[in-house]
Amino acid sequence: MSSVALEVKDLSVAYGKVEALHGANLKVGAGQIVSVIGPNGAGKTTMLSAIIGQLGSKGSVVFQGKSLNGTKVERRVAGGLSLVPEKRELFSTMTVEDNLLMGAYARHNRGERDHRQTMEEVFQRFPRLKERRQQLAGTLSGGERAMLVLGRALMGKPQVLLLDEPSLGLAPLIVKDIFHIISDLRESGVAVLLVEQNARAALQISDYGYVLETGAVVLEGPSRNLADDPRVAETYLGGAKRPH
């Protein structure tokens, strides 16, 4: 790994007295896609919320070499860290185009005036959004909403994108599209921390992976090795892999 974009060190999160994440360690290299797989309730969303600063935590999150301890969410986002939550919240009475522009709002306030250019780049990645640029976000299909939240995050030009189950509830063809788009982000140098229930697809497009169970990292390795690991195959890929 040439340079580390994001590092999570000994991160623990508790809800009241109940600890949901126990000393997790994880690294995302610049331009890398790293996946986190694990069952419901494992602490995946909790971990992302702590990384973006929505939840208090113990341990540390280091972004581009600097500790984020004590840094507010807005500062983290302005610095180039962005979370796309599982819940695909949009401005439903606004058009696709205006939703995208909202994603560039903070950059615009800082004097960056390249939002039109950035929007064209997003439209190149998501031709479906371009076709529907004038449509109200509230009338989009589930797959189109998933694309719009991703496109809106990209309008902020993040260096590291945290994605919480981008394929949840979508039909297989759209899932394929979404994973293609995420995979293509590698070329633009955006690093991705991808949380997914769809372990097979996540391991296919990622460089490295972690398995999180009951709040702890129980297994990690290059994604290819993880996909071949009998424990992963059995639990997350629907049965043992046949020898070849």
* Phi, psi angle pair for 174, to nearest 5°: -70, -40
Picking from 5, 4, 28, the residue whose alpha carbon sits closest to that of residue 210 is 28
Minimum CB separation from ligand ATP for residue 29, in Å?
Answer: 23
Binding to Mg ion by residue 45, rule CB under 5 A? yes
For ligand ATP, the closer of residues 100 and 199 by Cβ is 199
Minimum CB separation from ligand ATP for residue 132, in Å?
Answer: 28
Which segment (23-31, 40-48, 110-118, 183-191) binds ligand ATP by CB under 6 A? 40-48
Binding to ligand ATP by residue 40, rule CB under 6 A? yes
Give CA–CA dist 150/155, Å, rounded: 9
Give CA–CA dist 178/209, Å, rounded: 19
Binding to ligand ATP by residue 43, rule CB under 6 A? yes
Question: With contact defined as beta carbons under 8 Å apart, do 146 and 166 qualify?
Answer: yes
Minimum CB separation from ligand ATP for residue 75, in Å?
Answer: 23
Picking from 184, 166, 155, the residue whose alpha carbon sits closest to that of residue 82 is 155
Question: With contact defined as beta carbons under 8 Å apart, do 4 and 60 qualify?
Answer: no
Please state, in angstroms and as integers, the Cα–Cα distance from residue 6 to each residue in 1, 32, 81, 155, following that order: 12, 10, 9, 20
For ligand ATP, the closer of residues 137 and 170 by Cβ is 170
Binding to ligand ATP by residue 83, rule CB under 6 A? no
Evaluate the CA torsion angle 212, 77, 180, 175 in order and state its sign: positive
Interface positions, 68-87, toward Mg ion (CB under 5 A): none
Binding to Mg ion by residue 223, rule CB under 5 A? no
Give CA–CA dist 18/68, Å, rounded: 24
40 binds, among Mg ion, ligand ATP, none (CB under 5 to 8 A by kind): ligand ATP
- Binding-residue pattern over the window 189 to 228 for ligand ATP, x denoting contact by CB under 6 A: --------x-------------------------------
Q: List contacts with Mg ion (CB under 5 A).
A: 44-45
Q: List contacts with ligand ATP (CB under 6 A).
A: 15, 20, 38, 40-46, 197
